Structures are given as structure tokens and as C-alpha cells.
């Protein structure tokens, strides 16, 4: 039997705070142009627009302070970072997931608009009870209050952008850019959250607020916060 073992690869550039776990899991796709004959059967075809989707996960190896994550829209070695998530659970370490793509037909990606996270991500075991915003906005995006009897059970941060690819004269990649970046913060809580037990910044929209109940489980609360971002590079 031949093959590789224990060999995740990183195609997303330098990530000093993170240890590769899985990836880069390439998934190659190609579109197909088809011409049908007069009786409805294909008589000619041509492949175009070949590209590779890539995804990888990383575990936080930094033990204290804040975690550094790349900007979405960053192009590293021809790979465009489409989106990322940082997931916290109450029984584990933070996990970073990066999703991207590269073009294998036509021009490689050149620099695009980038979007930067507006929050600080702590390097901790378990779940944060508050998520602070960056230095330009000295407040918390989300925080439990001092009187809260509930607690966090999972926190997931997502950063993404809309991406536009344009084709050249024969269906290959010509150029691309990004617009309207956004970030979401999904918080799951153990307990029935009352309004005086948590705070949400007015710079974020509380887009969902739900409760889950059952006869064999604890009541849980979940909420999603959303914020749109301006690009930081042209």
C-alpha cells in the first residue's frame, strides 16, 4: 500500500498562531460548453473556466493574548481567500477554517480588495464570554453582563466577501475583485438568556435570537450578530 499519512498542507500563507490540521483538500472543477446537433445530441464540446477550490483547518497553538487571522480577499500564491471562520467550543481550542480558490485557466489572481476583521479573537481554551472590537472602537461586540447566570457554549466568527470573476475571450480567467465584505458572530448560550444578561454593540445587528428546549436537555439560547465592512485596500 502506498500513500501519504499525516501531511496537511497550507496554501494560505504565513499563519504564525495556527497549526495545520486538515487541507488543502483541492477540488478541481471545469465548466462545459456544449453544442447540440439538429437531432438534439451533442456534436461538439469544450471545457473552460477550470479552477480549484481549497479549504483547510488550523488549530490555535498560541496560548495567550490575541489570535491573528488573514484578511479575506488576500491573494497568496495565486490563491484568493474567499472566507474564514474561527470556531470556539467550551471543550476545545479555537479552530480556524480558510476557504479559497485559484484559477487554472487564464490569468492567475492579482491583488483584490481586502476586508479585515473588526474584532479581537482571544487565544484561550473554551469559549470567550465577551468579544471585543478593535482599537478603533473600544467596546465589545458581544458580552455577558456581571449578573448573567447563563454561559457561552460555542462562539463562531465568520468573515467573508462577495467576489466577482470575469472571463477572457475564450472562457479563461481575466480579472476579479471584491465588494461588500461582512462578518457574523454566532453565539450559543447555555440557559434562557434574559435581556439584562448580555450586551450587543449598536454597531452590530442582532439578526437572529432563538431558544431551544427539550425534556432531556438544557435550555439553550442562540443569537447571530451581523456587520458589513468597507474594504481596506483598493
Q: What does the pLDDT look like over 74-132, one tens digit per residue? A: 999 999 999 999 999 999 999 999 999 999 999 999 999 999 999 999 999 999 999 99
Residue 1 has pLDDT above 60, yes or no: no
* pLDDT (0 to 100) of residue 20: 97
Assigned domain for 182 exists: yes
Residue with cell 490540521: 21
* pLDDT (0 to 100) of residue 2: 61
Assigned domain for 23 exists: yes
Assigned domain for 195 exists: yes
Assigned domain for 234 exists: no
Question: For 137-159, how does the pLDDT look when each residue is reduced to its tens digit (9 = 90+)?
Answer: 889 999 999 999 999 999 999 99
Whole-prediction pTM = 0.95
Question: Rg of the Cα trace of the chain?
Answer: 22
Nine cell digits for residue 217: 436537555
Residue 233 has pLDDT above 90, yes or no: no
Assigned domain for 225 exists: yes
Assigned domain for 7 exists: no
Determine the structural domain holding residue 217 and report its residue range. Answer: 18-34+45-229
* Percent of the chain predicted with pLDDT > 70: 98
CA gap 138, 65 in Å, rounded: 17
Domains: count for the chain: 1
Assigned domain for 40 exists: no
* pLDDT (0 to 100) of residue 42: 98
Contact 149, 197 (CB under 8 A): yes
Amino acid at each position: 500500500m502506498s500513500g501519504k499519512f499525516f501531511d496537511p498542507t497550507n496554501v494560505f500563507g504565513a499563519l504564525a498562531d495556527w497549526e495545520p490540521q486538515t487541507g488543502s483538500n483541492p477540488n478541481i472543477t471545469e465548466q462545459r460548453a456544449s453544442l447540440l446537433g439538429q437531432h438534439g445530441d451533442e456534436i461538439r464540446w469544450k471545457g473552460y473556466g477550470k479552477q480549484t477550490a481549497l479549504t483547510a483547518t488550523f488549530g490555535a497553538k498560541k496560548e495567550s493574548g490575541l489570535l491573528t487571522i488573514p484578511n479575506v480577499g488576500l491573494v497568496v500564491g495565486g490563491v484568493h481567500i474567499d472566507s474564514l471562520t474561527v470556531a470556539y467550543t467550551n471543550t476545545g481550542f479555537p479552530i480556524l477554517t480558510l476557504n479559497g480558490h485559484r484559477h487554472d485557466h487564464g490569468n492567475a489572481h492579482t491583488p483584490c480588495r481586502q476586508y479585515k476583521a473588526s474584532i479581537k479573537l482571544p487565544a484561550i481554551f473554551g469559549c470567550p464570554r465577551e468579544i471585543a472590537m478593535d482599537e478603533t472602537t473600544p467596546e465589545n461586540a458581544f458580552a455577558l453582563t456581571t449578573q448573567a447566570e447563563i454561559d457561552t457554549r460555542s462562539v463562531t466568527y465568520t468573515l467573508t466577501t462577495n467576489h466577482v470573476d470575469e472571463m477572457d475571450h475564450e472562457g479563461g480567467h481575466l480579472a476579479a475583485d471584491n465588494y461588500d465584505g461582512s462578518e457574523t458572530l454566532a453565539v450559543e448560550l447555555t440557559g434562557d438568556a434574559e435581556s439584562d444578561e448580555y450586551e450587543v454593540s449598536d454597531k452590530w445587528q442582532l439578526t437572529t435570537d432563538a431558544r431551544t428546549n427539550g425534556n432531556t436537555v438544557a435550555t439553550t439560547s442562540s443569537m447571530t450578530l451581523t456587520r458589513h465592512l468597507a474594504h481596506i485596500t483598493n
